[in-house]
Amino acid sequence: MAPLCDLFFGIGSILFGKLSDSFSPNYLMVIGIAIYTASSILGFIFHGQYMTVLVFRVIQGLGASAIPAVNNTIITRYFTATGRQKMFGLVTSAFSFGVAAGPVLGGTITGRVDWAYLFLIPVLTLVSIPFFLKYLPAEEKRKGKFDLLGAVLAALTVTGFLLFLTQLEVVYLLCSLAAGVWFVIHIRRIDDPFLQPSIFQNPLYRMSVIVGFLMFSAMMTMMFLLPLMLSQLYSLSAETIGMVMFPGAICAALFGKLAGDIVVKRGAQYVTEVDFSCPLSGSR
């Protein structure tokens, strides 16, 4: 269930990121939060059936993907170069704090009440809607067509690859490669593609994508496998597992803002080198 939710979270991030080029970010954020909360409420109501829980978890991932995708657009569009670096650090801290509080809160609710009530936590995001509508300017729709075929091909490429990683079926890999080749050919033929091919000509961008992929893969692997290990090997309760994961996430929250300030003073390369050295030192 978790990989499927993450899959649609990734697809939704691409879609909302592209839509934010044409539509006002505040409305996209409201739409994403509305989808997120509606699917959460429905998931709570129908939590007794596995398939309904699975469907609403997938929709949850799709709605939640608007938050980081549109948030990045807001920072890029409304802040200066120096302000962006600080804001990205602040957002990283906020995200890490949520990661820290999530396991503790989720473990407590699961251990003392019932896991179904976890579906109601996202309803709290409704509080943020008035602030988005009040403080973000309502922009007019920008000219340009949305490349629906490109979006579908990108989604099929990612979906096939992730299914191959989880199921280890060659047919999924072949479908992913076929969709990927078609996607590359397609975006080179139209004027307003879903993804501009020219961005891949920038070596710094290519390296950033590779580094980001490797770092997030390692981080999400730890976040996914660590609770399973603590539960199956050490028979810890959900509440105790949350407390075990809490210190690491809090450290990430504390150093996220600090990293943003250091980027302003010493550059992104220095922070990246330090970032890589920390996991290597911890693996000994």
Q: Is the pLDDT assigned to residue 2 strictly greater than 70?
A: no
As a whole-number percent, the residues of the chain with pLDDT over 90 amount to 10
CB 10 within 8 A of CB 86: no
Mean pLDDT of the chain: 80
Q: Is the pLDDT assigned to residue 37 strictly greater than 90?
A: yes
CA contacts within 13 A on the Cβ side of 39: 20
Read off the pLDDT of residues 107-143 as tens digits, 9 standing for 90 and up: 778 778 888 888 888 888 899 888 888 888 777 777 7
Q: Which two tokens stand for residue 24?
A: 């006002």
Q: Which residue has the higher pLDDT, 179 or 267?
A: 179
Alpha-carbon distance 35 to 14, whole Å?
Answer: 16
| Stretch 34-42: mean pLDDT | 92
Per-residue confidence band for 197, with pLDDT thresholds at 50, 70 and 90: confident
Q: Is the pLDDT assigned to residue 269 strictly greater than 80?
A: no
> For the chain, what are the domain ranges?
2-146+197-279, 147-193
Alpha-carbon distance 205 to 234, whole Å?
Answer: 42
pLDDT on residue 38: 92
Q: Is the pLDDT assigned to residue 57 strictly greater than 60?
A: yes
pLDDT on residue 177: 94
Q: Is the pLDDT assigned to residue 280 strictly greater than 70?
A: no
Read off the pLDDT of residues 143-193 as tens digits, 9 standing for 90 and up: 767 788 888 898 888 888 878 877 888 999 999 999 999 999 998 888 888
pLDDT on residue 283: 54
Distances 219 to 215, 216, 226, 276 between C-alpha atoms, Å: 6, 5, 11, 12
CB 260 within 8 A of CB 86: yes
pLDDT on residue 194: 80
pLDDT on residue 179: 93
pLDDT on residue 17: 81
As a whole-number percent, the residues of the chain with pLDDT over 70 amount to 85
SS (H, E, C) the chain: CHHHHHHHHHHHHHHHHHHCCCCCHHHHHHHHHHHHHHHHHHHHHCCCCHHHHHHHHHHHHHHHCHHHHHHHHHHHHHCCHHHHHHHHHHHHHHHHHHHHHHHHHHHHHHHHCCHHHHHHHHHHHHHHHHHHHHHCCCCCCCCCCCCHHHHHHHHHHHHHHHHHHHHCCHHHHHHHHHHHHHHHHHHCCCCCCCCCHHHHHCHHHHHHHHHHHHHHHHHHHHHHHHHHHHHHCCCCCHHHHHHHHHHHHHHHHHHHHHHHHHHHHHCHHHHHHHHHHHHHHHCC
| Stretch 23-51: mean pLDDT | 88
Q: Is the pLDDT assigned to residue 284 strictly greater than 60?
A: no
Q: Which residue has the higher pLDDT, 129 or 106?
A: 129
CB 189 within 8 A of CB 183: no
Read off the pLDDT of residues 252-261 as tens digits, 9 standing for 90 and up: 667 766 766 6
pLDDT on residue 273: 64
